[in-house]
Structure 1
Amino acid sequence: MTIFIHDQFSKDYLEALLAPSGKVESPKRVSGEIRLIDVYFTPDSQQKANLQSLGLLGQFAQYPAILEPYRNAATADEIGDCLLKQLEVKAFLRRKANRGKSNKKNKNKKADKKLKSSEIPKVWILTPTASKRKLSYFGASARKGWPKGVYFLAPGLRAAIVAIHQLPKIPETLWLRVLGRGKVQERAIDELQALPDNNPYKEVGLELLYNLRNNLAAEKKTNETDRELIMRLKPLYQQEKEQIQQQSRQEGRQEGRQEERRTTIENLLRVRFGSVDNELQSIVETLLPLSPEEFTPLLIQLSQLPREELLVRFGRQS
């Protein structure tokens, strides 16, 4: 089913964006019944600057985070499962902290039970849409300082529902809107393509979308939304294909020029010195990478300078 393709894309996408800034576990197994967290992220304090480029997603990842992306609107049961995963992780971290303190023979029982709130991951439930009724059911509400579309549950739950379709269409929300549906996702793809080439995350984002398109296209049964997405990503596929072909042609031409240059140098040395031994070969390797402007005048020197001087200037010193 295509839903699994989208799920895998979401996990790979979030992992690729967050990996430069900390530890990503996808999936992560939690204790109790077999439950798998889609993406568990622990930031690296020395790499937090990378998160600024990810806008709102980077804000989510400033502290340990559980990210649960959904292709279809998350149901009440699915949201409940996310909360249960977070509580199980919290219990695991508390037991781990207590074991560590017990090993140090800490007799303060109260201190053993304390776990810093910043160490407990917050769960971010990423859903393409969320109705008012569902938000009300979980007591989720907007919070000052956060954009529309981000709804927090009670503080003790350390959880938030992110309604991607409600996020403002600004650069800071781009990396989350790519995980939306329909027009929301299509617009985000347009914005992603329009990013400058020096953006550190543009290439990886486009590459993963390119793979998503190929995986969806290989499916025999797709729904209308997926077919529209395939069509939207088709130019991206063609662009990627053309770039690969162009790069291949450029590499071919470059290799051809290198071979021509190598033949020219070796023939010239062979005419002058009878053969090209290992010492003279070092001259060849030194001159190969030079630009045409640098290479042409040096050919004259190859035809005039004595062997020892050539080796001093182009061979032995390299």
Structure 2
Amino acid sequence: MTRFIHDQFAKDYLEKLLTPYGVVQAPRRVAGEVREIDVWFAPNSQQNSTPEDLGLLGRLATSISIFEPYRNAASDDEIGDCLLKVLEVRGELRREANRNNTRLQESDLPKLWIITPTASENLLSQFGAIPSQDWVTGMYFLPSYFRSAIIAVHQLPATIDTLWLRILGKGNAQKRAIDELEALPVNNPYRAAALELLYNLQRNLQANQIQDEEDRELIMRLAPLYQQDREQAMQQGMQQGMQQGIQQGMQQGVQEGERLVVENLLRVRFGSLDAELSSAIDRLLSLPPEEFTPLLLQLSREELLARFAQNNS
């Protein structure tokens, strides 16, 4: 049960981070036997911003991609299923190109990124997956025809460049990534998005009665972070409320002060402040002080009433 909770978190997480840079479908169905791609990503043709801030994940997202994240170490059968999906998509695209009498470009073919918390040497050798000097440690590429790679999260270097992929790891690798996420500046937009989804994962795991040891540890790791963020949000809300209250109070004080000035000037000029003169005050105050002050000093009672009294609207 918890596996599906983690799978949903991974889909939501990748969708949240990649949506600004292209079209994301999570899941996406493919032809043949009913199969679903966990996350399908197609970058925008004209991007206003680049995914460079996402580090290695952003580099993966520069082309049409299929993301298949696993909570537990991907088995050989699961990797085989992923390869079937990418081959079926290639078949779809090839048939569509033939129908439209167009040539299928290599850039139209998706790349497959299999994200697994761990990967054994035996598993990698079964698929002929080897590292590449052009990529970081922990990435193993299958023969070029498949346009696929296995990403062993536990082997990725612990740098900011790999952080957004290491969040999808397990055990100590994930806990370390959460520590690094917590240390990021609070105005980092990806930090807020990732924490929101992690808190949602925490709630879903707590609601599930069957939890393994790693799930319980993850819940415990997220609990103080959630409480800290909640308290910080409350403090910010209180500060904003106090600031708004002060501003409103100052504005109200200025308005009351202007009203007193107008009332006193009317009393000085006309001896008293009757109901007719009082009815003109609100309209006088709708003008800035530099305009209503000379009018109070120059206009007669009749002129003031004719111009500003409420019954002369």
The TM tier, using the shorter chain, reads 0.7 to 0.9
Q: Which residue number corresponds to residue 133 of structure 1? A: 122
Q: Contact (CA 8 Å) 1:213, 1:237: kept in 2 or not?
A: no
| Cα contact 1:269–1:276 (8 A) shared by 2 | no
SS at match of 1:123: strand
Matched ranges for 1:1-318 at <5 A: 1-47=1-47, 49-101=49-101, 112=102, 114-271=103-260, 272=262, 274=278, 277=282, 280=285, 305-307=290-292
How many angstroms does 1:138 deviate by?
A: 1.2
**1:179 counterpart letter in structure 2:** L
Q: How much has 1:279 moved relative to structure 2? A: 7.3
- C-alpha distance in 2 between matches for 1:189 and 1:278: 59
Q: 1:23 is matched by which residue type in structure 2?
A: V
**Aligned counterparts of 2:83 and 2:3: Cα–Cα separation in 1:** 22
Which region of structure 1 is more displaced relative to structure 2, 147-156 or 41-50?
A: 41-50
1:234-289 residue CA offsets vs partner (Å, 9 max, x unmatched)? 12101121022112212331342244234323322333254664674586xxxxxx
Identical-pair percentage: 54
1:91 to 1:309, Cα distance in 2 relative to 1, 3 A: farther
Which runs of 5 or more residues in structure 1 are unaligned? 102-111, 284-301, 311-318
Cα distance, 1:37 vs structure 2: 0.9
Q: Secondary structure at the match of 2:50?
A: helix
Superposed displacement of residue 33, structure 1: 2.2
CA RMSD of aligned residues (A): 2.2
Aligned to 2:271: none
Amino acid paired to 1:252: G
Task: Identify which range, 46-55 or 267-276, moves more after superposition.
Answer: 267-276
Q: Deviation per CA, 1:70-106: give whole Å up to 9, x if none.
A: 00111111111111111111111112222222xxxxx
Does the Cα contact within 8 Å between 2:259 and 2:285 map onto a contact in 1? no
Q: Deviations over 1:201-254 (max 9, x none)?
A: 222122222222222223222111011111111121011210221122123313
Contact kept, 8 Å, 1:63 with 1:121, in 2: the verdict is yes
Q: Which runs of 5+ in 2 are unaligned?
A: 264-277, 296-313
Letter in 2 for 1:159: S
How far apart are the structure 2 equivalents of 1:7 and 1:276?
Answer: 66
CA distance in structure 2 between the aligned counterparts of 1:33 and 1:276, rounded to whole angstroms: 79
Deviations 1:140-189 (A, max 9, x none): 11122112211111111111111111111122111111100011001111
Q: Who wins on radius of gyration, i.e. which is larger?
A: 2
What secondary structure sits across from 1:249 in the alignment? helix
* Counterpart-to-counterpart distance in 1, 2:201 and 2:284: 52
Aligned mates of 1:282, 1:27 — CA distance in 2: 60
Amino acid at match of 2:192: E
SS at match of 2:130: coil
- Classify 1:218/1:21 alpha carbon distance in 2 versus 1 (closer, same or farther; 3 Å): same
Instruction: Look up the SS of the partner of 2:158 in the other structure.
Output: coil
Separation in structure 2 between the aligned mates of residue 93 and residue 150 of structure 1, nearest angstrom: 27
Q: d(CA) in 1 for partners of 2:206 and 2:36?
A: 28
Letter in 2 for 1:212: L
Contact 2:129 2:141 in 1 (8 A): yes
Aligned-partner Cα distance in 1 for 2:228–2:119: 34
> Paired residues, what number?
279
Change in CA separation of 1:150 and 1:244 when aligned onto 2, cut-off 3 Å: same
> Deviation of residue 48 (structure 1)?
7.7
TM normalised by structure 2 equals 0.82
TM-score, with length taken from structure 1? 0.81
CA distance in 1, matches of 2:165, 2:108: 24
